[in-house]
């Protein structure tokens, strides 16, 4: 087993940070190795209850996160059922209250517009209290600014911020980004990552390859 497969808490005497993979019970939330969540307000082990919202089994949508992601305190992932349908002449979700209005329970999902899965790449940093909306894909290496609201897909290695989140800049040159996406260092064996960790930390692409 790797360290990430054995531990909930990455650091000794720190109960505010967890490896998310090992506190998730919902099969529709899939998290890669070493992805961590920090919460200094609530118990980080309750991530799927406090941070993954409107995520009802009837929709079968998924939250998929890659490896080595960093999720800051209070980040939220809002799923399909937060999206009241815009096809209706009313914003009120009548189908949810099928008993009150004598409606067909089988029609309950017509209360919202289905947006789909939230997919987070590898090595993504999601800042404090950022909100990620359903149907969004965030590319590898992206950075989401604090309290941003992400409503559209984010390309790899792109920094975004604001409400709604907009591109601020790319983290590296196109050549470096292409090389990183080809290398996919996060998929290397743990031993190789350990050998190359100084190159990763220091941004030394030559040493990395």
Closest CA to 120 of 32, 17, 16, 187: 32
Residue 149 CB neighbour total at 10 angstroms: 17
**Residues 80 and 198 sit within 8 Å (Cβ to Cβ):** no
The CA-CA-CA angle for residues 53, 56, 60, to 5°, reads 120
| Active-site residue, from 42, 62, 84, 196 | 84
Q: CB neighbours of 28 closer than 8 A, spacing ≥ 6?
A: 55, 57, 60, 61, 62, 63
3-state secondary structure of 83: coil
Torsion of Cα atoms, 124 then 128 then 133 then 134, to 10° = 50
Determine how many CB atoms are found less than 10 A away from the CB of residue 185.
18
Instruction: Round to whole Å and give the CA distance between 130 and 144.
Output: 7
Q: Checking phi first, is residue 7 left (phi over 0); if not, alpha (psi -120 to 50) or beta?
A: beta
Catalytic annotation on 55? no
Q: What are phi and psi of 80, to 5 degrees?
A: -45, -45
Q: Catalogue the active-site residues.
A: 84
């Amino acid at each position: 087993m790797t360290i990430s497969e054995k531990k909930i808490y990455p650091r000794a005497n720190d109960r505010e940070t967890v490896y998310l993979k090992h506190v998730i019970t919902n099969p529709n939330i899939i998290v890669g190795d070493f992805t961590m969540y920090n919460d200094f307000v609530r118990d980080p082990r309750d991530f799927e209850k406090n941070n993954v919202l409107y995520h009802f089994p009837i929709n079968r949508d998924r939250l998929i996160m890659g490896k080595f992601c960093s999720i800051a305190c209070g980040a939220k992932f809002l799923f399909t059922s937060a999206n009241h349908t815009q096809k209706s002449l009313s914003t009120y979700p009548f189908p949810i209250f099928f008993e009150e209005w004598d409606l067909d329970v089988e029609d309950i999902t017509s209360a919202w517009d289905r947006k789909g899965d939230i997919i987070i790449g590898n090595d993504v940093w999601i800042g404090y209290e950022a909100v990620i909306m359903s149907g969004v894909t965030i590319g590898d290496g992206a950075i989401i600014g604090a309290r941003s609201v992400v409503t559209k897909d984010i390309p790899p290695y792109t920094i975004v911020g604001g409400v709604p989140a907009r591109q601020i800049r790319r983290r590296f040159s196109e050549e470096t980004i292409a090389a990183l996406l080809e290398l996919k260092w996060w998929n290397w064996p743990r031993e190789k990552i350990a050998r190359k960790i100084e190159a990763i930390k220091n941004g030394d692409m030559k040493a990395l390859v």
